[in-house]
Amino acid sequence: MSNINWAALQLAAKHASEQAYAPYSKFPVGVAVLAQSGKIYTGCNVENASYGGTVCAERNAIGAAIVAGERKFDALMVYTPQAQLTPPCGICRQVIAEFFMPDAPVASCNHLQQQQTWSLVELLPAAFTPTYLANSTKVDGNT
């Protein structure tokens, strides 16, 4: 996907991280997703004192795009202001698999201008996806 403007995604993800609500972990995360329409949507992590109520930046960005009517995406960029590049967590990988093609690039960048890119299938091999459900056989008359 050579038509991806990675610099624009990095900047959008960095700006989103500045809005993160991370008083517990002190780990602000920003994400930018590129919809197939060409629009960029962002999200940040929003923590909660009940840690299970925390919502990751990836899911917030995808959710914002879904609210706007988007359903298909070409790329995702995670920004964290630390030296270690951070890929999405497991639950976010599953949500990404719902809306991205297996070869879609998922990237991480940081304040040091470093970037690493993976394909979704590298991050979540043999993902449980809508395609899997559509191709599954019925058992007992149920899907």
Residue with tokens 């706007």: 68
Q: Is the pLDDT of residue 47 over 80?
A: yes
Q: Is the pLDDT of residue 128 over 90?
A: no
Give the orientation angle of helix 57-67 with respect to helix 90-99, to 10 degrees.
30
Q: Is the pLDDT of residue 136 over 70?
A: no
18 included as an active-site residue: no
The one catalytic residue in 58, 70, 98, 122 is: 58
pLDDT bucket at 137, cuts 50 / 70 / 90: low
Q: Is the pLDDT of residue 87 over 70?
A: yes
**How confident is the model over 48-61, as a mean pLDDT?**
96
pLDDT in tens, 90-104: 999 999 999 999 999
What is the token pair recorded at 45? Answer: 């992590």
The set of long-range contacts for 12-17, using a CB threshold of 8 Å and a minimum separation of 24, is: 12/40, 12/42, 12/77, 13/42, 13/77, 13/78, 13/79, 13/109, 14/79, 14/109, 14/111, 15/42, 16/42, 16/43, 16/44, 16/57, 16/61, 16/79, 17/44, 17/57, 17/79, 17/80, 17/81
In this prediction, residue 34 carries a pLDDT of: 98
Q: CATH homologous superfamily for 6-134?
A: Cytidine Deaminase, domain 2 (3.40.140.10)
Q: Is the pLDDT of residue 1 over 70?
A: no
pLDDT bucket at 133, cuts 50 / 70 / 90: low
Sequence-separated (6 or more) residues with CB below 8 Å from residue 142: none
pLDDT bucket at 129, cuts 50 / 70 / 90: confident
pLDDT in tens, 20-30: 999 999 999 99
Percent of the chain whose predicted confidence (pLDDT) is above 70: 90
